[in-house]
Amino acid sequence: MSSSTAAGCASSEMRLDLDNGPATTTGVIAMGNLNARIEGLTWQATRGSLTGDGWGELVELTVLRGHVLGRIDDAERAASLAEAYVDQARRDPRPLVARARLAARFHRFSAALADLDAATALGLDRRSLDEERAAVYQAVGRYDEALAMHRQALLRRPDFSALGALARYHAERGEMVEAQTWFLAARRGYRGVSPFPLAVLEFQCGQMWLAQDDLVSARIWLESAARRLPAYVPAQGHLAEIDAAEGRAAVAIGRLRRLALASDDPHYATQLARVLDESQASAEAQFWRAHAAARYEELMARHPEAYADHVAEFWLTVGGDPQRALRLSLQNLALRPTPRAHALVNRAISMANSVNRTGARYHVGDA
């Protein structure tokens, strides 16, 4: 059997496995329930009647909605809520865990670990926090420590969470076969009815395959996530990237216009500018490029640790400034010396050297 035939068979088997996956609540109903719950908890918070558990739920659900809808303002709001949660219960370790998750979300890894240590000192079992620590260690390239914690968690309780964490670990390491094995195991082990955890898992696996330029596998997983949760902006964004890569520029532009208008994440405006420019629509491409540049400036002013790599990618591509990309990629590498960060620096060095040799700079819309 040829390698292409084998890959096709594997993709067919994967599609069959995903088509026969767990049944969950429809995405429209789930999003309605999520919004209603957030509104109810927010109302209690404004009245001063929200309990400790309610604060934790409000933070968690706001983060989830921000991820699904591609809304950075929700993540920022969740960070403010986590601070308020800590203020509400100074001797309770749970608010510290919530704040640690938001600190890690914005790549403030030292602050996240400090909060986890403080939560342990206030009485939370250190092992129960290992999943949180493992995620931080993995983000900064401390892979051996992260793997040990993931394995211990799996031994204690081989549930959806532990299986998914191990899948993400192998995906980060570029160990594709192992990662997909654990992604599929986690998916088969899911026992809930909410579409959110499963759609996020499917998105993460699709993202992994897209990073490896396996567009067929990536589309299978991402389409499953989007069917489960049609409002899932990151999944729709990656599907647009695949559309563009496969020559369906008009479909990609249609998707990306909707996302760029709905989301405050400039990633979608950046992708839209790129596809428009490749389609010779330079005037509109320039508009979205300027929009993305302005928004990235705002985000860098507030969250430099979290957006250095994103902004470096912007200046390396449609932004057309590899020197600025190099400075930002080095900043990101100092924070998290991972293979992905090293690869970004190497790309920036290569392009900066090329610009230095030719004296030319590329800008969206230039001839």
pTM: 0.90
Give the mean pLDDT of the chain. Answer: 91
Q: What are 149-158's contacts with CB under 8 Å, separation 24+?
A: 152/127, 156/127, 158/189
Residue 31 belongs to some domain of the structure: yes
Domain that holds residue 41: 27-124
Residue 219 belongs to some domain of the structure: no
Q: Could you give the CA distance from residue 194 to residue 75 in angstroms, rounded to a whole number? A: 21
* Contact (CB, 8 A) for 62 and 74: yes
Query: Residue 355: pLDDT band by 50, 70, 90 thresholds?
Result: confident
Query: Residue 165: pLDDT band by 50, 70, 90 thresholds?
Result: very high
Q: What is the mean pLDDT of residues 306-327?
A: 95
Residue 200 belongs to some domain of the structure: no
pLDDT for the residue numbered 11: 56
Total domains in the chain come to 2
pLDDT value at 8 more than 80: no
Residue 216 belongs to some domain of the structure: no
Which three-class secondary structure string do you get for 211-272? HCCCHHHHHHHHHHHHHHCCCCHHHHHHHHHHHHHCCCHHHHHHHHHHHHHHCCCHHHHHHH
Which CATH number is 110's domain given? 1.25.40.10
pLDDT in tens, 73-127: 999 999 999 999 999 888 899 999 999 999 999 999 999 999 999 999 999 887 7
The domain boundary residue, chosen from 90, 105, 124: 124
Residue 262 belongs to some domain of the structure: no
**Helix, strand, or coil here: 318?**
coil
The domain boundary residue, chosen from 82, 107, 124: 124
pLDDT for the residue numbered 18: 63
Q: For residue 342, which of 355, 326, 323 has the smallest C-alpha distance? A: 326
Residue 358 belongs to some domain of the structure: yes
* Contact (CB, 8 A) for 172 and 138: yes
Residue 208 belongs to some domain of the structure: no
The domain boundary residue, chosen from 100, 124, 148: 124
Residue 302 belongs to some domain of the structure: yes
pLDDT for the residue numbered 14: 60
**Measured torsion, CA atoms of residues 149, 154, 160, 165, in degrees rounded to the nearest 10:** 30
